C-alpha cells in the first residue's frame, strides 16, 4: 500500500533532504522519506514550502521539548539557511 493511501500514521525510518537547482529562478528541495516497511516517497518542495516546514517542525519539536528552542532561535535557524 502506498504511503499516501493509508488511514493510519506511518513511522518514518529515514528522512533525507537535498537542494536541487532547476534554473536561475527556480530552486527546489527534495525530501525523501523512507517508512519502516521500506517504502519511500520523495516530496518536491519550493523554498517557501521548505521555510514553512522548518518553522512548523521546529515549533512542533519545541512543543515536545520547550526548553530547547524558542521562536528567536527558530528565526535565527531559518535566516541562517536564507529562508526568510
Domain boundaries, the chain: 3-80
Please give the pLDDT value at position 68: 61
Q: Is the pTM of this model over 0.85?
A: no
**Roughly how many angstroms between the first and final C-alpha of the chain, as a whole number?**
37
Report, as ranges of residue numbers, the positions in the chain whose pLDDT lies below 70: 1-3, 66-70, 80-84
Query: SS3 sequence, 51-81?
Result: HHHHHHHHHHHHHHCCCCCCHHHHHHHHHHC
- What is the structure's pLDDT at 17? 94
Amino acid at each position: 500500500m502506498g504511503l499516501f493511501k493509508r488511514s493510519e500514521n506511518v513511522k518514518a525510518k529515514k528522512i533525507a533532504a537535498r537542494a536541487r537547482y532547476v534554473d536561475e529562478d527556480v530552486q527546489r528541495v527534495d525530501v525523501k522519506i523512507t517508512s519502516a516497511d521500506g517504502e519511500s516517497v520523495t516530496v518536491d518542495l519550493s523554498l517557501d514550502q521548505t521555510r514553512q516546514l522548518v518553522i512548523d517542525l521546529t515549533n512542533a519539536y519545541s512543543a515536545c521539548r520547550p526548553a530547547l528552542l524558542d521562536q528567536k532561535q527558530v528565526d535565527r535557524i531559518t535566516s541562517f539557511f536564507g529562508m526568510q
